Structure 1
Amino acid sequence: MRKPMSLRLRVTLLCAALLTLCCLLLTVTNNFSAIRMADAIQAVPLLPAQRAELEDSVSLPMAELHISDTIQQAQGAFHMQSLLAMVAILALGLFLIYRLVGKALAPLDTLTCQIRERTAADLAQPVEIPDSGDEAAAVALAFNQMSQRLNQVFVMQRNFSRSAAHEFRTPLAVLKTRIGLFRKKQDFRPRATLELLQIVEGEVDRLSAMVSELLELTNLERASRGERLSSGQLIRSAADQAAPQAEARSITILVDAAPCTLAGNAELLRQAVCNLVENAVKYSPAGSVVHIAGHRDGEWFQIVVADQGPGIPESLRQRIFEPFFRVDDSRSRQLGGAGLGLALVRAIAEFHGGAVYVEKSRGAGSRFVLKLPCEQDPPPD
């Protein structure tokens, strides 16, 4: 495979072509002007006194011939000197251009060497930014910014893999311990067997739920976004789905939704709202109230889910949307949470061009706000 030409050599050849063209034009112009001037000098009329003296001279034809030969020789010498000067100027110009271009591109060569030595382990270390303030410095700055973003992604992937392995290991360890204990006791009575089966079923359901949520997180980009749905129907369906869980703990769900048309994937949006509502019911005390409100704010539609639970510390309000993160790890495990519900809500919101965040409630609890793009004409609910 032919090795590509370096940028330094390409810039040098381009400048050489332009310099050669300029030198040729200048040389041709100078020679043309010199020839015209020589012809004009040769054609200058003689004064009368000079003409009379020359007419009396016998050697006039020889003098005219001598002057003509001298002019032609001078023209030839001028042409040769012009060509030699052009070649010398071109050689000197090419040498200077090559050296100056190399000096100008030296920061890029240094940056190339630094980038070539980069690995995934040292992306957090920035490359040296030249003090020139030119394009090379801009490229180095852009590379540092890209490296920081890539490093953050790699860190998130490592944390995600570590957390996923930990979450899968916990139910598997429970299953292994229970089965080992059952085998050791050799208690095959129906009651003991049923108890073991219930534990196995619960842990398998937990693993299945985690796998389903992980698949949904990774397959969002394949989903379609061309459906149109009513905000009222979306909120009411989420409230209806969480109603049995709320009734079991005497929790009241209040719904107050303004009409609006949302565009996107209906199933994903329904799941995002359901996750917020079920999360609010799960962490609210018995006999409390969960309020679901929806209102339009310009081009956006905001779905607010407010609960009366323990609330979320301000320092953790950004991290709660990270996969497998829990504010209270022990309580979340008791309630069956894997720490993927809010991460899935954020992924769905960003997939639809929206956002989700948590606010401090006026009283106790938290307020989750799901912000989605809104269509212009609301359909009848």
Structure 2
Amino acid sequence: MTAESVTAPDYWIDALPQAVLLCEGGAVTRLNAAASRLWGVTQVRAAGRPVLEVVRRHTLEALIERGGELELEVSGRTLRCTVTRDDTASALIVEDTTDHRRREAELREATAVLSHEFRTPVTALKGVLEALEYDMPRELSQNFVRQGLQETERLARLVEDLAVGFRPTRARTLPLAETFARAERLLESELTPRGSCLSFGPDHLVRADPDKLLQVLLNLIENALKYGPPGQDIEVQTARRGTWVEVCVLDHGPPIPDTDSLFQAHTRGAGASGQGSGMGLYIVRSIVQGWGGQAWAARADGRSVDGRNAFCFTLPGVGGLG
């Protein structure tokens, strides 16, 4: 077949985004424009040549012979290859699904992040409802109800984010002490059984989404409780760094050999036990980077404060307190 022999009705094949190769008796009869770009050969040069000389992959040659479908990874791209055939002729259709696979991966990542964020308010609501089962002074029960309503509102905002995608955060100016108080209330049921104490540094005015800031702080303190010894004192230090405010959660846990890898998705520290998604510190860094800050951890080998593990982040400061 030559270029001149291609009739007008054949031109539609060149408009297809998929690469299409037609063959008969093991020889190429037609390539469309996308296939020419994929394999770097023109229709004129490909016509009449053995399939293997054009596609240069035995896996594709075998697929054409038997029919069916497979996926190939080629130069960082994901290609879905499908062959339909009859007694004498075959058609190979190659579709680049790289972007589709990337979107699937992003969706899985987003789902993992959201499920992790849902866990904290759901746990808090469970504790509130369990507490309200018992008789208690009216003032105390009203405090539990207010806490439950606050966490319900946070759940509602998470549901809204899930419905419309990740939107810009709802930042406002607030004192760090406001978030510290919320975190201490939520963590009380975990601190008491472990005999651990929680202390906070000087207050500062910051600019952040209150719920996102609470999520960051809870993740870091919960990690300190989970991986540190019972009865430890967990200290949350604060300091002004120019126009930024630095917050560090210090614990007495064992030395961590590779702190930076802990901030990667689905990564847990060496020796971590129990259930865990490995998303906590990844979420911390993602949230902090969202407001332009940094998140890091210092190794417990002399570079950390007083030999403790220090998990730190920065957020925009506002002149005033501190």
| TM-score normalised to structure 1 length | 0.42
Higher relative helix content:
1
Which has the larger Rg? Answer: 1
